[in-house]
Chain A
Amino acid sequence: MTYASSIVNYLTNEISHKEPVDNDHMHLLQLKKKLLPLFKMHSFPSNSEEFFRYSKIKESDFDHLDFNPVPVTSTSSTLLLNQFSNYFKHKIVFVDGELSQAQTMLPKGIFINKITNRDELDEAAKLLDQKSFFGLMNILHTRNIYQVTIPPDYKSSEIISTFHITTDNFKQHMSTPCVLIKALENSYANLFSLHLYLGIESHYYVTNSALYLNLKKNAVIDFSKLQMESDNSLHISTIKACLDQNAILNTQLISLGGKNSRENQHISLLDQNARANLYGLYDLKNEMQSDHYVEIVHQYEKTYSHQLFKGILKDQSHGVFTGKVSITKDAKHSVSTQLNKNIILGEKAHMTSRPQLMIDTDDVKCTHGATTGQMDAEQLFYLKTRGIDDNQAKKMLYHAFAREIIEASPCGKIRQILNDYILNNKETLSSDQSVTNRCQHGIFSFT
Chain B
Amino acid sequence: MLKINNLHVMVDDKLILKGIDLEINQGEIHAIMGPNGSGKSTLAKVLAGHPKYQITEGSIEFFDGQEYINLAELEIHERAKSGIFLGFQYPTEIPGISNLGFLRESVNNVWKAQGKKLLGKDDFIDFLHPIMDILEMKELFLDRSINEGFSGGEKKKNEILQLMILDPKLAILDETDSGLDIDALKVVAEGINRFKRPFNSTILITHYQRLLDHIIPDFIHVLGDGKIIRSGTKDLALELELKGYNWTGVGK
Task: Mark contacts of B105-128 with chain A using CB atoms, 8 A cut-off: 1 yes-contact digit, 0 otherwise.
Answer: 110011001000000010000000
> Which of A377, A401, A441, A442 has a CB less than 8 Å from the CB of B96?
A401
Enumerate B83-108 residues with CB–CB distance to A below 8 Å. Answer: 85-86, 88, 91-92, 94-98, 100-102, 104-106
Chain B residues with Cβ under 8 A from A447's Cβ? 98, 143-144
Residue A17 lies at the interface, judged by CB distance under 8 Å to chain B: no
| CB neighbours of B105 from chain A (8 A) | 386, 388, 392, 396, 442-443
Q: Contact size class for A?
A: 20 to 34
Partner of A382, one of B88, B109, B121, B144: B88
Query: How far is B142's CA from A399's CA once the two chains are assembled, in angstroms?
Result: 18
B81 on interface, CB distance cutoff 8 Å: yes
Residue A390 CB within 8 A of the other chain: yes
Q: A381-B50, A396-B105 are in contact. Are A386 and B110 (CB under 8 A)?
A: yes
The interface residues of chain A lying within 8 Å CB-to-CB of B85 are 385
Bound: A287/B14 CA distance, A: 39
- A388 and B143 contacting across the interface, CB-CB below 8 Å: no
Is B228 close to A, CB under 8 A? Answer: no
Decide yes or no whether B135 CB sits under 8 A from chain A.
no
Q: Which of A368-408 contact B (CB under 8 A)?
A: 377-379, 381-390, 392-393, 396-397, 399-401, 403-404
Q: Are B77 and A382 in contact (CB under 8 A)?
A: no
Q: Which residues of A contact B106 (CB under 8 A)?
A: 383, 386-388
Please tell me if the beta carbons of A441 and B86 are within 8 angstroms of each other in the complex: no
How many chain B residues touch A (Cβ–Cβ < 8 Å)?
A: 38
B131 at the interface (CB under 8 A from A): no
Picked from A384, A389, A399, A441, the residue with its CB within 8 Å of the CB of B100 is A441
Nearest-CB distance from B41 to chain A (Å)?
13
B162 at the interface (CB under 8 A from A): yes
**Distance in Å: Cβ of B54 to nearest Cβ of chain A:** 15
Is residue A444 within 8 Å, beta carbon to beta carbon, of the partner chain?
Answer: yes
Contact A443 B98 (CB under 8 A): yes
B76 in contact with A445 (CB, 8 Å): no
- Residues of the A chain whose Cβ atoms lie less than 8 Å from the Cβ of B144: 447
> Is the CB–CB distance between B94 and A379 below 8 Å?
yes
**Contact of B110 with A387 in the complex, beta carbons under 8 Å:** yes
**Contact flag A385-B94 (CB < 8 Å), given A442-B104, A444-B101, A445-B101:** no
| Proximity string of chain A (429-447) to chain B, C-beta cutoff 8 Å, 1 when within and 0 when not | 0000000010001111101
With contacts A382-B91, A385-B86, A387-B106 taken as known, whether A377 is within 8 angstroms of B51 at the C-beta atoms is yes
CB distance from A436 to the nearest CB of B (A): 12
Q: Quick one: which of B49, B77, B80, B100 contacts A445, CB cutoff 8 A?
A: B100
User: Which residues between 45 and 64 of chain B lie within 8 Å of chain A, taking CB atoms?
Assistant: 48-52
A386 to B98, CA, bound (A): 15
Give the complex CA separation of A193 and B81 in angstroms: 43
Q: Does B121 contact A437, Cβ atoms closer than 8 Å? A: yes
Q: Is the CB of B101 within 8 A of A442?
A: yes
B contact residues around A379 at 8 Å (CB): 92, 94
Instruction: Assess whether B166 is interfacial by the CB under 8 Å rule.
Output: yes
A387 touches B109 (CB 8 A): yes
Pairwise interchain contact B92-A378, C-beta atoms closer than 8 A = yes
Residue of A whose beta carbon sits closest to that of B76? A384
State whether A382 touches B101 (Cβ < 8 A).
no
17 A-B pairs besides A392-B105, A442-B98 with CB distance below 8 A are: A381-B50, A381-B51, A381-B76, A382-B94, A383-B102, A384-B76, A385-B77, A386-B102, A386-B109, A387-B80, A387-B106, A387-B113, A389-B75, A392-B109, A397-B97, A399-B97, A404-B96
Q: List 6 A-B contacts (CB under 8 A).
A: A382-B92, A386-B105, A400-B97, A403-B96, A437-B121, A445-B98
The 10 closest A-B pairs by CB, nearest first: A400-B96, A442-B101, A386-B106, A387-B80, A384-B76, A382-B92, A387-B110, A387-B109, A443-B101, A445-B98
